[in-house]
């Protein structure tokens, strides 16, 4: 995600909002380990999140990038930070049994006098228990505050520049689904079809180049589809099975996931009944998804439609999306489900997931959309009904 995608003023506004949230939590120095949050604050982009790295945001001054020596040139090339803002830890500490990279972070913080009121993203994929133990030993438990989600919440309302990137991701997603529908046929080996779809997401249509998505294609068939997160295999596609594909184009790290279900043969009545309920739920949700309405109220559209069809949906029905890295394209803040009373705001973006999973099959028809005063507006134009091949 090149820092040039966004203006200097936009980055300044992101820092201002994040610092206001830090102040509300009594945090003087925020240690940001989530690569999505690192990129959102500074533009830094690289496949380096398998080792310790952080953006350090103090109450004043530029953020600092701290990471592996080998990745420092990448920080210089992709972020808006100056060379004076970049700090690295010794290369010989890469996965070393006796030394930990966070030891050098401790030294950097001490040199700056930033040793109290530290915020850390404790419930985060990229912040390890060992990293926390090193900080705890150096500064004491009272110096550390859980700042999980602090930056994530500042990302909820998308800027016009962000929405433009998500719409480009939507063009990639639609292209991937075009390739999927064209290649879906009886006897086709699923891994070959998935390879074709993934290639389409990278090559893109009309010169629109794609990036790697945060989640691999989800592609279960038949009984496999009763589980919600199975990827692909090398079995051929066969008659009498529903297959759903959850895929996303990715443009400069921004996503637009969309699921569609395909069927070989005549679609059974129970799956058709579920399809009708889901299609109705999508239309009702998009009509209701306006600023001021709560996540819970929007979710009700799905649960009520599914219930009218005689089904029970036991999982959440949507979550916010945008900028992300593996292993997840969700923003890990609010959810479209009962009990979440977060009010929606214009330019929030969600992946609506009114899927159904029974003991015998699964059906997923989903949409990525943006909140507008007129309701939810989809970010990718893709035919919605089940694709049936006779």
Q: Which positions ≥6 away from 146 have C-beta within 8 Å?
A: 119, 120, 122, 123
Burial label, 157 (beta-carbon count in 10 A; 0-12, 13-18, 19+): middle
Q: How far is CA 135 from CA 37, 100, 108, 142, in A?
A: 20, 11, 12, 11
- Which pLDDT score, from 0 to 100, does residue 4 have? 83
Q: Are residues 171 and 141 in the same domain?
A: no
Give the pLDDT confidence score for residue 202 in this predicted structure.
Answer: 98
pLDDT at 1: 65
Kindly give the pairing relationship between strand 29-32 and strand 118-120. Answer: parallel
**Are 140 and 254 found together in one domain?**
no
Q: Which residues contact 106 (CB under 8 A, 6 or more apart)?
A: 134, 135, 138, 139
- Residue 211 and residue 73 share a domain: no
First-residue to last-residue Cα distance in the chain = 43
Per-residue confidence (pLDDT) for residue 97, from 0 to 100? 84
Instruction: Give the containing element (helix H, strand E) for 112.
Output: helix 102-112
Cβ atoms within 10 Å, residue 170: 25
Count the domains in the chain: 2
- Structural domain of 171: 160-389
**CA nearest 37: which of 61, 22, 55?**
55
Residue 315 backbone phi and psi in degrees, to 5: -120, 170
Give the span between the Cα atoms of 120 and 264, in whole angstroms.
49
Q: Pick from 154, 182, 213: which residue ends a domain?
A: 154
136 and 176 assigned to the same domain: no
10 and 140 assigned to the same domain: yes
Could you tell me if 212 and 123 lie in one domain? no
Q: In what order do the strands lie in the sheet with 144-146?
A: 86-89, 64-68, 54-58, 29-32, 118-120, 144-146
On whether the CB atoms of residues 349 and 330 are closer than 8 A, the answer is no
Give the residue among 154, 153, 167, 161 at the shortest CA–CA distance from 10: 161
- Domain containing residue 52: CATH number: 3.40.350.10
CA distance 87 to 81: 11
Query: What letter does residue 336 receive in the DSSP assignment?
Result: S
Segments of the chain scoring below 50 in pLDDT: none
Where residue 219 sits, what CATH number does that domain have? Answer: 3.90.230.10
Answer yes or no: are the C-beta atoms of 129 and 161 closer than 8 Å.
Answer: no
Q: Among residues 164, 158, 122, 114, which one has the least CA distance to residue 138?
A: 114
Domain boundary among 119, 154, 189: 154
Q: Do 124 and 175 belong to one domain?
A: no
263 and 377, same structural domain? Answer: yes
């Amino acid at each position: 995600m090149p820092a040039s995608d966004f203006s200097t003023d936009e980055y300044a506004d992101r820092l201002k909002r994040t610092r206001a949230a830090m102040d509300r939590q009594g945090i003087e120095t925020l240690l940001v380990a989530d690569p999505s949050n690192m990129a959102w604050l500074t533009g830094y982009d690289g496949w380096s999140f398998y080792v310790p790295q952080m953006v350090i945001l103090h109450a004043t001054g530029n953020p600092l990038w701290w990471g592996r020596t080998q990745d420092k040139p990448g920080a210089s090339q992709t972020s808006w930070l100056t060379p004076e803002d970049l700090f690295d830890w010794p290369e010989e500490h890469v996965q070393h049994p006796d030394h930990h990279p966070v030891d050098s972070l401790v030294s950097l913080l001490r040199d700056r006098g930033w040793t109290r009121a530290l915020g850390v993203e404790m419930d985060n994929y990229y912040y390890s228990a060992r990293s926390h133990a090193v900080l705890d030993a150096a500064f004491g438990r009272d110096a550390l505050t859980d700042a999980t989600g602090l930056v994530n919440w500042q990302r909820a309302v998308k800027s016009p520049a962000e929405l433009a990137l998500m719409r480009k991701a939507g063009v990639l997603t639609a292209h991937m689904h075009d390739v999927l529908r064209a290649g879906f046929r009886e006897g086709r080996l699923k891994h070959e079809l998935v390879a074709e779809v993934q290639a389409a997401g990278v090559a893109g249509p009309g010169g629109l180049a794609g990036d790697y998505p945060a989640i691999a294609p989800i592609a279960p068939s038949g009984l496999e589809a009763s589980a919600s997160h199975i990827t692909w295999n090398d079995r051929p596609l066969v008659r009498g099975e529903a297959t759903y594909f959850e895929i996303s184009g990715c443009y400069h790290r921004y996503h637009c996931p969309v699921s569609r279900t395909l069927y070989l043969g005549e679609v059974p009545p129970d799956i058709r009944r579920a399809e009708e309920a889901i299609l109705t739920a999508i239309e009702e949700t998009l009509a209701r998804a306006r600023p001021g309405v709560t996540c819970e109220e929007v979710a009700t559209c799905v649960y009520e439609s599914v219930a009218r069809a005689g089904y029970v949906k036991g999982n959440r029905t949507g979550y916010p999306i945008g900028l992300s890295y593996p292993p997840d394209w969700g923003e890990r803040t609010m959810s479209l489900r009962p009990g979440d009373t977060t009010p929606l705001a214009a330019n929030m973006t969600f992946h609506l997931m009114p899927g159904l999973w029974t003991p015998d099959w699964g059906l997923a028809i989903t949409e990525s959309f943006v909140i507008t005063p007129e309701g939810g507006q989809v970010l990718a134009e893709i035919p919605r009904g089940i694709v049936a091949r006779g």
